[in-house]
Chains A and B, each alone.
Chain A
């Protein structure tokens, strides 16, 4: 039977011990190369051995623990999702497009790593597999077709013990099981396992090596005498049209997907933690440090919460919700009515608060619930051994959320409790110090805190581009003094927006149904495409580049600088 690129069978591609700490293993299956690596959380990844950017093998990349870093341009890809989380050539941008490497199914079992060309077959253990603690023999590569290798293995059975073929190009010879890994049309690897660790490990390994080496020699002599089959020709899948074009700013999408509340707990006084997971136990989409999700609440409102997770930690998202923040009934619903096991709709992670990973020193300043995005950032910096310090300000130690998570960080994480306003200011000035090149500070907390840190940083010579912050609420005063016309391209309608009224209100008065939630330019629900005209952005939802692109806007607060706007509505 000739090999097929779409053969759905699970084959062993490596021994478990081929994946030591922070290693990347160069695997091969059915003519394809694989980059196989174990993350620090134990998860094994089997990816197409090629960075999507310029095609460099990822097997020469660097395993950073929870992310794999390409050698050529330092792009980082997340454990599990293979999604790109960082592009060093553009350190201030969050990768807006979903750049995701091709992955293959992978399992670790019976001392071996298993993979398949596709997901068509579930992983099924061979008969009797579960009853033993298997011991992997040294693999033996053979330059012969997998069929010939399998036939050769079966001839090793003594006459009185018939060979038993088991599914997936494998035979049992006594208690030993031998699997033939089809590397390519004319190349194989014999991977053997024994049901238990032998008493004399070295002697046993040597014994099998000798036997299999003899077999290899005879198989290769035979193979040399006949024409070798053509190698398989795997094709590299094309990237999406979106990825192939120069990255203009993509209008953020409003897609949502369901998650189940896996855990709800009191993280601190007044702070409730929620752990959200996929309903089928799959991993969630890639996110970058500083990212948030929109949570669609049972009462129809949409609220934003920062992810606290570290790199490659995609089996669930953990958010922190402040119990008493009850503005328009948002967090209150989460805290009071949502229970473990409930299903919520969330958006894919968005990032308006990207973390540069090219700083010589990163200062993270959190106040109260503002710890959430900064915890995520600290975890990323921690994993990459980058220089950072986290300063967490709170009224009382009981109100400090995610304390145990902070304790396991290796970097400096200082807690500042119960300081007066003046003392906080003095402390901030002390930790910032005079600005130095390639220093960056990230702040999250109440509006007054953000402003104080910004002022202090400016006074110490920190330029704007080194001071990063994120508003959760739009605390800015909305300037609604302009008057202009909006042309609704798809509705074939032109409306006049007078001073003091929003575009959203004007559209509703004209009978249109337009979704909205927070109506303060923070949630993104009323996001609308802009075709023509210059937008006066007043929201805190869109990031700087999105605003500069002039291709989308929030109709609840933003207005026009030009006399006329053409909207895609």
Chain B
């Protein structure tokens, strides 16, 4: 867009500034748009990570890093987790191997057997998880994933220039459906967020929102008409959430959608999506495309949120009743002592 002249004189003493010489060869018209802040591409983020030691809770969590199937056996894939560059591959046995990258490049060949200094690895829900500290406990359960007749699939890993907790909060939010997912998950005039229940389950240490109801024109790929959909949201991990929603195909069961955020830096993350559906007609491609459409609508909104870290001070933003689950989530993060990807409340 930026057609600049060849470097000429350095501007000192340029003459004729007040009497345009109209016989000059015109330069291409210059479109000068609004100056915008610099954008970071993932490439330069990876090359210049700003190191910050994550809080101990975050350090000891299991973090998602890749859809296991998408890691190629014998090929390196690099990524970023908590500001650290990681390399990943799969061994001949198909098991993922993850380690701190040194000079490895994306796409290089490697024999997983030669990697000695490995990070802890777990595979769950189709994804590979690792931990940079001492893994604290098992990963949270999603019992439905094991049900035989469900279609389980990963729906892609999408980079977002926002903190992981902002993305979790967006996943919990119903009020934006008519405006961001117009004619799919919501449409005017059905903008109301009805009262729902939120609790922090002490036993399972997770935020739970129940009786969340919303009128949706096309709640799922298998939906053919508008229906009032009931949601249950779980936040069983500071950077992961799972939702259960009425299934258009079988009233007695619920579709499960999980979002697992990989905190790359404090202000960038990758969203890994899981669908575990009761859907006998749609193809996996259709189901993936549907979820990616939804996520593609959220991404530009999330990337225009400021500050990019989630502010935990109650006075930083203005909640309404519809934001009860977000308020509970912010408090829960605060109480846990999470400081990574958030702006902690000043004491």
Contacts and interface: CB of A to CB of B under 8 A. Distances in A.
Interface string A200-234: 10111011111101111111010000000000000
B35 A187 contact: yes
B35 A189 contact: yes
Given A209-B27, A211-B14, A218-B10, A89 B32 contact: no
Interface of B: 4-5, 7-15, 17-18, 20-22, 24, 26-27, 29-30, 32, 34-36, 169, 174-176, 178-180, 188-193, 300-301, 304-307, 311, 313-322, 324, 327
Contact of A438 (B34, B189, B315, B319): B189
A206 B21 CA distance: 10
Interface of A: 25-28, 33, 49-50, 52-57, 60, 71-74, 87-92, 99, 138-141, 152, 155-159, 161, 173-176, 183, 187, 189, 198, 200, 202-204, 206-211, 213-219, 221, 236, 238-241, 243-247, 358-360, 438
B318 A239 contact: yes
B192 A71 contact: no
B22 A207 contact: yes
A245 B179 contact: no
A243 B316 CA distance: 9
At the interface, is chain B mostly helix, strand, loop or mixed? loop
Given A71-B179, A215-B11, A53 B320 contact: yes
Contacts of A173: 17-18
A43 B75 CA distance: 60
A52 B34 contact: no
Contacts of A60: 300-301, 304
A141 B306 contact: no
Contact of B317 (A54, A176, A206): A54
A75 B320 CA distance: 11
B199 to A, nearest CB: 15
A141 B10 CA distance: 17
Contacts of A55: 305-307, 311, 317
A56 B11 contact: no
Given A50-B306, A189-B35, 19 more contacts: A28-B34, A53-B319, A55-B317, A57-B304, A71-B301, A89-B175, A141-B35, A158-B13, A161-B18, A173-B18, A187-B35, A209-B27, A213-B4, A213-B30, A217-B4, A238-B316, A244-B318, A245-B314, A358-B191
Given A204-B20, A217-B4, A238-B313, A26 B36 contact: yes
A55 B188 CA distance: 22
Contacts of B7: 217-218, 221
Contacts, number: 187
Contacts of A219: 11
23 contacts: A26-B36, A28-B35, A56-B306, A72-B176, A72-B301, A73-B176, A74-B188, A74-B191, A88-B175, A139-B32, A141-B35, A155-B14, A156-B11, A156-B17, A158-B17, A202-B26, A208-B20, A213-B4, A213-B5, A213-B27, A216-B4, A218-B11, A360-B189
A540 B324 CA distance: 31
B304 A246 contact: no
A90 B322 contact: yes
Contact of A239 (B178, B179, B301, B316): B316
B99 to A, nearest CB: 36
Contact of B179 (A74, A209, A216): A74
Given A138-B30, A155-B11, A438-B189, A90 B320 contact: yes
A140 B176 contact: no
Contacts of B26: 202-203, 206
A27 B34 contact: yes
A241 B315 CA distance: 6
Given A53-B317, A213-B4, A246-B321, A141 B20 contact: no
